[in-house]
Each structure stands twice: as C-alpha cells, then as structure tokens.
Structure 1
Amino acid sequence: MYKFIYEHRHEFRVVKMCQVLGVSRSGYYDWKNRKPSARIVKREGLKKQIYQIYIKSQKRYGSPKITQILRRHGHTVTQRTVSRLMKELGIRSITKKKYKATTHSKHHLPVYPNLLNQQFKVSQPGSVWVADITYVYTKEGWLYLATVMDLFSRRIIGWAMAPRMTKALVISALNKAYTIQEPREGLIHHSDQGSQYASIEYQNLLREKGIQSSMSRKGNCYDNACIASFHSIIKKELIHHKNYQTRNEAMFSIVEYILTFYNSKSMHSTLNDMSPLNLRRNTQQNNLAHHVLFDFQKYMMS
C-alpha cells in the first residue's frame, strides 16, 4: 500500500491517498524513511549491473551471456534469477529472424570431398578457414556479403560485399583473408558446393596459395555450421534491426560490427566465453587494440 502511494505521489496528494486507502500519514512516512534491507539493496544493485551489461552489448546479450559475465565478476547468480530481473527491467535480447540460402549448387563444375567432416575444433589458427555468402536488404537493392572465418578463433578474417553474388565477390573475400592471416601449411578451406566456390577461378586461386579445398555435402547445412552461425548472429544482432537506405550505409555498418564488436567483444561459448581477438591475444600475448587497428588498416589497404 505504501509503495503505491510513493509511486503515485506526483499524481495525487499523499494526504488524500492515505485517506482513501485507509492508512495513516505517519505510517507512510515511517515506511518511506526506513532504510531498505540488505537484500533489496543487493537486488537493485544486481539489476543495475544487468542493465549496464545489456546496454554495453548494444542490447544483444540475453540472460545466458549476462549470467556468465556476472559470474566472471564474482556474483553467485543463476540464469533464472537474471532472466526474472531482466523481465522486471523490461529488457530482452534482440530476437532472431530466419534467412534463406544463397549459393547455387546446381552446376556441372567439379566438387571436392568434405575434409572437415564437421570437426569444428581445431588446434591452431590458420589451419582451417570456412566461407559462405549471405544477403542484406537495403532500399537501394540487395547487398551480398561473403565472409571467411578462421575456425580456431571464430574470427572473421575475410569479407567482401557487392550488389551481385559472383565469383569475384568470394575471390575478394579470400584475398582479404590471405592478407590478414598468414595460413599454415596444409590449410583447409571449407565451403558449400555453390558455383562461386566451385568456379575454376576460385579453385585455381586456392591451389596457387597452397590451400586444400573442402566442400559440404549437398543440402547439408550442418557441414558448414560455424560460418552459417555467424551469418545468423549478424542478422539477429545487427542487420534485422537496421533500415539501410543504401548499400554503402550497410557496408560501413557491417564492417564496424565485425571489427569493433564481433571480433573484439562478442562472447563465444566454444571459446570459453572469450571473443575471437581475446583468444588470439591469450594465444599470442599481443595487444587487443593493436589487432583491431591492424585488421582495419589491412581492410582499408585491400
């Protein structure tokens, strides 16, 4: 009752509300001046931290990741509690939307065996790259995004965008990846059987660089699940919540997301909740900011 009076004190006179609700003014003011319990203080402090983490993630993190961050900072808290407090705050992770396949696998070009065979855990960076294409809607027309991921770190090392889904698009993404990360001997490049990846020009480029070609089985999206997951995440966390007027606007937005959030901050359960660049920093003992700047410089020069 007292809480109701307090919450509506700017709308109605306290005296009148006390009369209508049948409580004394002295009782209300005693309640108001009473110090909150340690439990309430702790709960409100936790809600504040949850909200700060949520905003810092640009509204992308839900209760699982927020719970992990809180535990990392010494809080003993369950995901159920975090979920309940998020509901009280009226916040939730940006929801996921579906997307369709893009590459065209009905062709007569040679296809290559599946060397990866869904073995997504690798021991060294630069030993397996996975690649795929997705699409982005803008009011100017469709924009196609080709990406290359280092499977060890889940880091996006190559990307290219264009109005058409061509072999030139995937070649550009591959060249960028080769510029940013020096591959190890015997590097495996895994993709679907799309005509862009199966093209003579693309396969010749792989051979020139000493890279082995591996392809998913036809119609099996699980064979290239990691890069498909990235495309799902970027749509969930960025693209579906934008209203791009032009392709250039979308391109700058996507590059910014890759460099300043996904590669450097986004938590991955497969990486013990580290970001790709944090994993690389732990592996190579280099500075995180240096890698972000290095990637950006490479991108601008390519």
Structure 2
Amino acid sequence: MKSTLNTLLKVSSIIACSSMATAYAQDSSLMSCYWQVEKQNEVGIWERQVCVNPVDANLPAVLVASRVNIPSYGVCSINWLDGYRTELKGTVKVEGNKANCGGHAVSFEPAPDTRIVDGLEEKRLDCRWNNAGGNAHKLMCDDIEGRTLTMPIATKMQAAGSTECVMNFNGFTLNYFSGGVAVLDKKPTHNACDVGPVYFRAYPAQRMVDGFEETLLQCTWRDVNASARIKSCSNVGTPNKDVTVAIEVNGRLQSLIDTVNNQLSDGEIVEDNTLNPIYPALYFRKH
C-alpha cells in the first residue's frame, strides 16, 4: 500500500509540473496579419483577421479572429482563435486587451518536438483533426511508432471559417498508448476549438520505490492460436530470462504474476496501475 501511494504521489507530481518544467523553450515570432471584410451593410461590418501561415507561407492563411462592429450602437465584439493550433504544431498568442477590437499583436510559438518534465523526456505526438461529417471533427493522434490510435482524443463541432466551437474531451483515451501515457498541460474547456499539444511520456526505465530498485520490463504479446495469446517479459532479474506473466483465452485475461513471483528468488514483478490503468507498467523489483 505504501509503495502504491508513493508511486501515485510521484506521478501526480509529474503531471502537476507538466507546464512548469519544460525544456527546449521555443522563441515566438510576430505573425503578418490583416483584416478581411466578410459583410457590410447599414447596420455594421463583419470582418475576420487572417495571418500568413507561420509554417509555410505558401499554405492557406490562418484564421485567428472574427469581429462585428456596429458603430451606431457603439458596439464591437471580437472572438479569438488563439491558443494551440494542431495544424500548425504551435501556439497562436495575442498581446493586448482581447476584449478590445483593435490594438493587438499576434505571434506564433512552435511546440517543441521533445521536452523534459520532472526529469522525464516527453515526445510530442503527431495529431490531426479529421472531418467526421458536416461540422463534426475528431482529433486523432499517432503513437511514437507512427500508428494511429483508433479512438479520438477529442471531438468538436465547428463550422467552416467559424471561431465558435463545442468541444468534447475524451480524457480516458490518453491511457490507450502502450508503453506510457499521453499528457496535456491543460484540459480544454467545453467551448475550446483545439486541444494540445499532446505529448507521450514513457514509463521510467529505472526508479527507486521504498528503497528498492525497480527496472522496467520489456513485455510483448504473442498469439498461440486463433483464440489464445500469451504475454512474456524478457530479462527478468537476469539477462535472457524470459517469463510468461499473462494468458488470454477467448478474451478472458488471467494474470500469472503471482505464480511467477513464487518462482523468483532474487526479486519480484510489480504491476503498477497508477502510471496507466489500461496498460499497466511491469517492473522487476530487486530484493
């Protein structure tokens, strides 16, 4: 129990520090922006602010704001699309009072490909918004080996050219990356238009828990036949020592960790569900 609590506290500390202990800081640069008139009549003017694409000037311009100005009533309202932008792999920043209709400076800061958080390296995942029909979109991400996860990290409703969105964040999906967990610095609000950046944090290869040294085990699943498969871990305690830690038959999983531990003389296998409840990490604890 004490071991689990200590590990949970460590993980909580890592998550809390995600936005504070980032290495490889990126420089931001001003974006070249201009206002376009969408509609104008005796009532007012509807405009949108677009900026030259900061990644590739040959690509379409980037929408960053929309505003409505009704001079006869002294009313001017503005909506921003600042924050992280998945398609740009970086953050659009606005300097100035965002409630005002003018006097702003817009800049872009690319997200680092890798960063160090609380001593652990995190790698940015490649993500994209896929249209799911009409105004519906889903955020799909690849794992660090380039395989696309089948479940979206988020879904949203957003009309083309609109700065208004309805966001649904699927936080549980962050646990479906094997070998670690996906992390965000901040959970998106219900009216956010984007999510991210999404980073992958691999399980620590070595760690100390309650004074014991633990080493992350490398484990793989292997099909036995059409209805059964086994999970084996290599180099358990000593080089070239492979053990079977689980078996799955017709979708029913049975852990063999307790049986294996009874046969180990110099340590034990520890399953850590606090790092990832879907794909728990397996460590060898040396006694």
TM-score of the superposed pair, with normalisation by structure 1: 0.24
Bigger proportion of residues as helix: 1
Bigger proportion of residues as strand: 2
